[in-house]
Amino acid sequence: MMGRFSKMHGLGNDFVVIDARAAPLDMPEARARAIADRHTGIGCDQLIVIGEAADADVSMRIFNADGSEVEACGNATRCVPLFVGRDVAIRTRAGLLHARLIDGGASVDMGEPHFEWDAIPLAWAMDTLTMPASWEDLPPPAAVNVGNPHVVFFVDDLDTLAVDRLGPLIEHDPLFPARVNVNFAQIAGDRHIRLIVWERGAGLTRACGTGACATAVAAIRRKRATGPVTVTLPGGDLVIDWQPGGSIRMTGPATHVFDGEADWAHF
The residues that are catalytic are: 73, 208
What is d(CA 230, CA 160) in angstroms, rounded to the nearest whole number? 22
Q: What is the length of the chain?
A: 267
SS3 31: helix
Q: Which residues contact 245 (CB under 8 A, 6 or more apart)?
A: 112
- The sign one gets for the Cα dihedral 46, 47, 51, 57 is positive
DSSP 68-119: -EES--HHHHHHHHHHHTS-EEEEETTEEEEEEEETTEEEEE----B--GGG
| Separation of alpha carbons 80 and 106, rounded Å | 9
